[in-house]
Amino acid sequence: MIILNNSIIHNRKKILVFSFGAIFYTIFLLYIWTLMSDSFSQLLDLFPKQIKTIAGFGDDLSTAGFLNGEFMHLIGPLIIGAFAITIGSTVLCSEEENKTIDQFLSLSISRTKYFTEKYFSMVLSILFLSLIFSITLKICDLIYDINLNLSNILYSGLALFIYGVTVGSITYLSGSIFAKTSQAAGIGAAVAIIGYIFDSVYKTVSSMNFLKYISLHYYYNDNKVILNGFDTFHLIILLIIIFTSFFIGLYIFNKRDIKS
């Protein structure tokens, strides 16, 4: 666990910056909600149906319904995705780019151990940020009295965690293949952004319905997780992506030369 601990310590500044961002945004968003909750339905009526659909707003006018659109659909995955890409692209790649990895892999440490501990340092970092989101939601619930039940909070945290780990795993896999931070981050970001775009397109253009099957965003929040919990099939798909990315990455990392 030494490599894992060291990686988390090494990334502490990034974890802190994103945590402050998450706390600030969540408090700000729910403060705004307390100001506009009574007129939320009138406000929504000002927008065309397609825009509301793309933004993730449904018929539920509760706090959880608002959070599903404003928080879970866009900003939540944006923050957790950006964090996962940042950590996933650097945790392994930057060691190889900076050549600090040579000294460690020339010790009696297996590549599998190195790869796995680095990976789980990313997973734990994402878990930490997801918990920060959940805890902040709970604190806001207490402060603003906005009727968020515990299951809403747990579902939101878990969904963001699973989404973050999925994006992070794809980024980490890219890093283990290309050993280049910029390339890994680019691929991770592309998967996340394209997923969001495809999710928006299939909702508004019926002939493009097939796009949803190649959108991470669809599997992440099509079931409006904060309101309804996870769709088992969607959760399995995300878990398959996570495990496949991990094992392919591990296989490649074990088979290739370390960049010199």
Compute how many other C-beta atoms are within 10 angstroms of the C-beta atom of residue 87: 27
Q: Does 12 bind other proteins (CB under 8 A)?
A: no
Residue 175 CB, nearest distance to other proteins (Å)? 17
Q: Does 258 bind other proteins (CB under 8 A)?
A: yes
Q: Under DSSP, is residue 231 helix (H, G, I), strand (E, B) or coil?
A: coil
Applying CB under 8 A, among 50, 110, 151, 182 the residue interacting with other proteins is 110
- The region of 28-36, 37-45, 95-103, 242-250 touching other proteins under the rule CB under 8 A is 95-103
Q: Does 59 bind other proteins (CB under 8 A)?
A: no
Residues 26-55 close enough to bind other proteins by CB under 8 A: none
C-alpha torsion sign, points 137, 141, 146, 151: positive
Residue 254 CB, nearest distance to other proteins (Å)? 6
Helices (H), the chain: 2-10, 12-36, 40-45, 49-55, 63-67, 76-90, 93-97, 101-105, 111-144, 150-178, 181-204, 216-221, 225-228, 232-255
Dihedral angle over CA of 232, 217, 79, 33, nearest 10: -80
Nearer to other proteins, 105 or 240 (CB): 105
Residue 11 CB, nearest distance to other proteins (Å)? 12
CB-CB contact of 43 with 36 (8 Å): yes
Applying CB under 8 A, among 102, 182, 193, 247 the residue interacting with other proteins is 102
User: Where does residue 149 fall: left (phi above 0), alpha (psi -120 to 50 degrees), or beta otherwise?
Assistant: beta
CB-CB contact of 30 with 140 (8 Å): yes
- The region of 2-10, 144-152, 167-175, 217-225 touching other proteins under the rule CB under 8 A is 2-10
CA angle, 18 as apex, 122 and 13 as ends, to 5°? 70
Residue 16 CB, nearest distance to other proteins (Å)? 15
Residues 118-177 close enough to bind other proteins by CB under 8 A: none
Nearer to other proteins, 3 or 75 (CB): 3
Q: Does 3 bind other proteins (CB under 8 A)?
A: yes
Q: What is the amino acid identity at position 182?
A: S
Applying CB under 8 A, among 17, 41, 51, 112 the residue interacting with other proteins is 112
Nearer to other proteins, 109 or 190 (CB): 109
Find, among 144, 106, 143, 101, the residue nearest to 7 by Cα. 101
Q: By the criterion CB under 8 A, which residues form the site for other proteins? A: 2-3, 6, 10, 98-100, 102-112, 254-258, 260
